[in-house]
Chain A
Amino acid sequence: MTKAAIAPAGVALPAAEPILRAEPGPIRAFWTRLTARRTAMVGLVIVVALILMAVFADWIAPYDPIATDWGAIRTAPSWAHPFGTDEVGHDVLSRIVFGARASLGAGLTSVALAVALGLPFGLLAGYAGGVIDLLIMRLTDALLAIPFLILAIALAAFLGPSLTNAMVAIGLSATSTFVRLTRAQVQAVAAEEFVEAARAVGNPPWRIAIRHIVPNIVPAILVQATLTIAAAIIAEASLSFLGLGQQPPEPSWGSMLNVAKNFLEQAPWMAIWPGASIFLAVLAFNLLGDGLRDALDPRQRT
């Protein structure tokens, strides 16, 4: 029996020293919750692998992706060409590896653009309110009325066919989603008592917005961004498939599918590999996004 347990009631025990637990910060705690989710980790591993593949494409790809080999037209997968070759003798594996640059680059860049535009406007709408909110939100509603892919195709066609223009088109099309999400999140956080406390110590509105509100909406934006990257990858593939994105002979999974559709019976590997790549990339970002959402869900915190 310990001393404390047998001390009679009313006897003052020495004041307990504060227990300094090595409590993890919010970011560490989030990481622990994320790594506990197997599907999220599968998604994360694939995403990281794809990013590494895109970055180090020059070292990974066995051939030059735009070098044509007229001696190897539409050859089936072999040791020399593990994924086969296409109708002008490009090595499909090399084009898949380099195509990751177009797909991931378009996914990340366009979503970065969408967040960069959507966050400030959403913040302004949600925090300023009034007429500004009304104007921004009506414009956003108008944009949201047009289906995402249709809008992206229209914008890309207007800007002219190139990968950069496709990224801009996809980014602009995805912006309204982030305006909306940011506004809703800002309104929720702005109603919290700590925001009022921040006003009560004399913070100006812009400081409250940037120091107190934005950090608290980052989790929601991060989840939406991850899921939107998946959608943007599909959009880039679609635009490239339609000839509005990456221009031949530069490789892109979407444009590879476009060519492959003419040879589905003769050379199915031309379609299978880019198709599978798109599938895998989109799946990985969706798994990661879902995992992030669960790990960041305040209701699951202890």
Chain B
Amino acid sequence: MGQDREILLDVRDLAVAFDSEGGAVHAVNGVSYTLAEGETLGIVGESGSGKSVHVLAMLGLIPRPPGRITGGQVLFQGRDLLGLPERELRKIRGGQIGFVFQDPMSSLNPGMTVAAQIIEPLRIHLGLDGRAARARAKDLLDLVRIPNAGARLDQYPHEFSGGQRQRVMIAIGLSCRPKLLIADEATTALDVTVQAEIIALVQELKREIGMAIVWITHDLGVVAGIADTVQVMYAGRILERGPVDDIFRDPRSAYTLGLLRSLPDLSRGRAGRRRLHQIEGAPPDMRHPPPGDPFAARNIYATARCLTEAPPLAQAPGAAPGHLVAAWYDLPAHLAAEEAAR
């Protein structure tokens, strides 16, 4: 995906640490990837995998201190965001890169009308004010399919349902026609049916506007529905990355496999009922990251080399082009052997 399109975002070896009393917590450890214009990248991982922190860090949105960017480059349209002064970063935030946060209940200011909050980025980035800004705010509410938008502009967030508030957040994120929309667990706090509506909305808007999307989630089901490319993160590293169908059909990292197996299979109804798979163990203490593959301690396929040497993220042998994995072990071989033994 995306090889033929312009590179929008090029993350190179990004590393982020947080200083704590027990020593520095290495939250992100050398993350590199590219995102093409118009591409939808789903980043999957559990809490503490660095999936949210690394995008917040790119735009200077982590608190510093205690947060620190310890290395790397983030090229957005060719400019290194990490070298930009705060003033320049502010022009990008909300202007060229829009955000949607996890909890629509708490990410809108309870004391400001919805119109005032949508107008904010319009004023900052487009210099719109007064009637023009209000008209645009109404258009944006229409865009995210909030019925009766004109009448609802002057309402407060508490008068909107959770799904509607997330629509408002999306309207704010898209208000200045960004090149990139970053959604950080944007559907996690919502009901499943509302989740589906929001995902459908984002897909429609993507067709209309054509922005690239980074969709951060821990829910593989959401990723399957929305992403072109999936990137699996663990302990501040990318363990696997590739076209969405390929990742689901032919996972090459034991961690991805564990995630896939932990999903319930509802399509087979009663026959699909089984005890869900559970990945044994706990993520490593990131104050002292293990020298090798961070998932090795929980991986039944781990080799001796996994414990001592970190595998590079490289093209998975025999997989679709662009399907990268960081693993010393050969997962398909293990799975084939297990199949044969059964």
Taking Cβ atoms with an 8 Å cutoff, the residues of A that contact B are: 17-18, 20-21, 23, 25-26, 192-194, 196-204, 211-212, 215-216
Contact = CB atoms under 8 A, between A and B. Distances in A.
Contacts of A194: 106-110
B120 A20 contact: no
B93 interface: yes
Q: How large is the interface on B (under 10, 10 to 19, 20 to 34, 35 or more residues)?
A: 20 to 34
A203 B87 CA distance: 10
A215 B111 contact: yes
From DSSP, what is the main secondary structure of chain B's interface residues?
A: loop
B246 interface: no
Interface of B: 59, 61, 90-95, 99, 101-103, 106-112, 120-121, 124-125, 147-148, 151-152, 155-156, 158-159, 169, 172, 175
A26 B110 CA distance: 9
Closest 8 A-B residue pairs measured CB to CB? A201-B94, A202-B94, A200-B99, A201-B121, A193-B106, A197-B107, A202-B93, A193-B107
- Scoring A17, A194, A199 by chain B CB atoms within 10 A of each residue's CB, the highest score goes to A194
Given A194-B109, A201-B124, A202-B95, A25 B103 contact: no
Contacts, number: 78
A204 B88 CA distance: 11
Given A202-B90, A202-B91, 18 more contacts: A18-B152, A21-B159, A23-B155, A25-B156, A26-B111, A193-B101, A196-B61, A196-B101, A198-B109, A201-B94, A201-B99, A201-B124, A202-B95, A203-B90, A203-B120, A204-B90, A211-B120, A216-B109
Given A20-B148, A25-B156, A197 B93 contact: no
A202 B101 CA distance: 15
Contacts of B175: 201
A193 B188 CA distance: 15
Contacts of A203: 90, 94, 120, 124
Contacts of A202: 90-95, 121, 124-125
Nearest to A195: B109
A200 B106 contact: no
B108 A200 contact: no
A215 B155 CA distance: 17
Contacts of B59: 200
Contacts of A25: 156
B246 to A, nearest CB: 32
B101 A197 contact: yes
A200 B94 contact: yes
A59 B90 CA distance: 58
A200 B120 contact: no
Contacts of B102: 193
A26 B156 CA distance: 8
Contact of A197 (B90, B92, B99, B158): B99
28 contacts: A20-B148, A23-B155, A23-B156, A23-B158, A26-B111, A192-B106, A194-B108, A194-B109, A197-B99, A197-B108, A197-B169, A197-B172, A198-B109, A200-B59, A200-B99, A201-B93, A201-B99, A201-B124, A201-B175, A202-B92, A202-B125, A203-B120, A203-B124, A212-B109, A215-B111, A216-B109, A216-B110, A216-B111
B87 to A, nearest CB: 8
Contacts of B90: 202-204
